[in-house]
Amino acid sequence: MSSSQHSATPPVPLWRVAAASCAGTTIEFYDFFIYGTAAALVFPKVFFPALGSTAGTVASFATFAVAFVARPVGAIVFGHFGDRIGRKRTLISTLLLMGVATVLIGLLPEAETIGVAAPIALVVLRFAQGFAVGGEWAGATLLTAEYAPKHRRGFYGVFPQIGPAIAFALSSGTFLATGLIMGDTDEAFLSYGWRIPFLFSIVLILVGLYVRMSIEETPAFREAQTRARAEANSLDRARRMPFLEAIRAQPREVLLSAGALTMLFAFFYMGTAYLTSYGTNPNGAGLSRPVVLGIGIGAAVLFGLTTMAAGMLSDRFGRRNVIRVSCVAGIVWALVLFPLLDTGSATAFAVGLSGTLVIFAVSYGPAGSFLPELFTARHRYTGAGLGYNLAGVLGGAIPPLVAPGLAASFGSIAIGVMLSLTGVLSLVCVSALAETRDRALEHEQPRHGEPTAA
């Protein structure tokens, strides 16, 4: 794109782009996390009462895992449209889909009322949530990465990344407030109290839509569209499939980025979902629901601060080096975590949850700039989304699902061993990827000898 074309478009303030990306991921992950909290505290009794406590918990987390199967599908579908029609319009679609699915979960009758139709509908709506989140993350990170100056891309890349921290605090806070207002009585909470956080998302969705509609399309996408029109005829453009382009042109980056982020997902969803269940389980830490939720809010604050610090450090020391530090720490921490939790004290639970989320955040901060820098603009939305969401299947769906069985058969230390192995996988994969800190994206003018994206 020529300089005259660049100057014809008024610059978008970076604070507005950062706010739009942060608001969107906060809202989408709030909707995603309240499901995880409800899966730990409510759904075994509301939707799977006939299965008993242990089997009901397993079934509840199986519905939680459905979203991770949907995420790569969402990454492909929304990635296609994000790379074809633009980041902004696609992100508005993901926000609306997530909002509708979440509100419908809050209105869903329980199993005692409509029988087996209740858990079936729950699975369908959970799939829709995962489908929406599959398209959300890549678009939100591209929004900041493609606007931010290269030397501060790690810093601006943390704004969509701190959305999940805010969302985790909000989801824990709304469940805590609902329980306290109701006197924390199980009957009222299980009857209708758990629905309030789901219905509250209507307000957040309206705010998110307003913010996202106030920004323009990214300069990298506009330039990629201009180049595509100049280089290809209309028939070629009609046939272009970003998914196939990403798989054909950069399969190594897709697979290695998925492996590099597997530990990240394993630590986060074990922390935000499984440990919430473990903390309140009489056979686990045996803590009260308000204590576990209150600790979750405090851990979310540490998680958000660490995410911001890690993103900024990646501008100085490199994305890959910061993520490797997280992997090494995670390999060791995973083996210590459950012996610590098994002491049964609230302090030990707070340290265990906070440490798990802090180690996750050290990887998560740089990921918002690392993955966009790995892929070229023509299929960046699809490639980054595929890598991220395949990691979600490996690290986010499988560990919480198999953790109860591992703990029952071999003791809680088996869960730590499993998490430690995900750290080894991620360390190997991220070490095999190139450092991207100094890469210039397509709309930027690289200095002599400086690498360009992909």
CA atoms within 13 A on the CB side of 310: 31
Report the distance separating Cα 143 and Cα 18, nearest Å.
Answer: 8
Residue 361 neighbours by CB under 8 Å, 6+ apart = 165, 302, 303, 304, 306, 307, 310
CA-based radius of gyration for the chain: 21
Helices 289-317 & 346-374 angle (0-180, nearest 10): 40
Residue numbers in the chain where pLDDT is lower than 70: 1-12, 53-54, 183-186, 224, 228-240, 282-285, 442-454
Report the distance separating Cα 320 and Cα 165, nearest Å.
Answer: 22
Report the distance separating Cα 295 and Cα 293, nearest Å.
Answer: 5
> Tokens standing for 184?
């924390």
Report the distance separating Cα 424 and Cα 343, nearest Å.
Answer: 27
CB 201 within 8 A of CB 27: yes
Report the distance separating Cα 253 and Cα 439, nearest Å.
Answer: 15
Short-list 371, 368, 421, CA closest to 395: 421
At 308 the pLDDT is 92
pTM score, whole prediction: 0.76
CB 259 within 8 A of CB 413: no
At 138 the pLDDT is 80
* Domains of the chain and any CATH numbers: 14-218+246-439 (1.20.1250.20)
Q: Helices (H) and strands (E) in the chain — how many of each?
A: 24, 0
Residue appearing with tokens 């507005």: 16
Length, in residues, of the chain? 454
At 232 the pLDDT is 54
Residue 418 neighbours by CB under 8 Å, 6+ apart = 266, 334, 399, 402, 403, 406
Report the distance separating Cα 366 and Cα 361, nearest Å.
Answer: 9
For residue 151, how many other CB atoms are within 10 A of its CB? 11
Short-list 267, 294, 416, 404, CA closest to 349: 294
Residue 173 neighbours by CB under 8 Å, 6+ apart = 293, 297
> Tokens standing for 305?
């601060």
CB 51 within 8 A of CB 44: yes
pLDDT tens digits along 76-95: 888 888 888 777 888 888 88
At 240 the pLDDT is 63
CB 368 within 8 A of CB 161: yes
Residue 57 Cα distances to 29, 190, 402, 403, angstroms: 22, 15, 11, 11
Report the distance separating Cα 228 and Cα 246, nearest Å.
Answer: 16
Report the distance separating Cα 135 and Cα 367, nearest Å.
Answer: 16
Q: What is the DSSP letter of 287?
A: -
Report the distance separating Cα 322 and Cα 284, nearest Å.
Answer: 33
Short-list 100, 92, 98, 171, CA closest to 130: 98
At 234 the pLDDT is 44
Report the distance separating Cα 365 and Cα 352, nearest Å.
Answer: 20
DSSP strand E in 261-406: where?
none
Buried b (16+ CB within 10 A) or exposed e, 170-198: bbbbbbbebbeebeeeeeebbeebbbbbb
Residue appearing with tokens 């994305």: 319
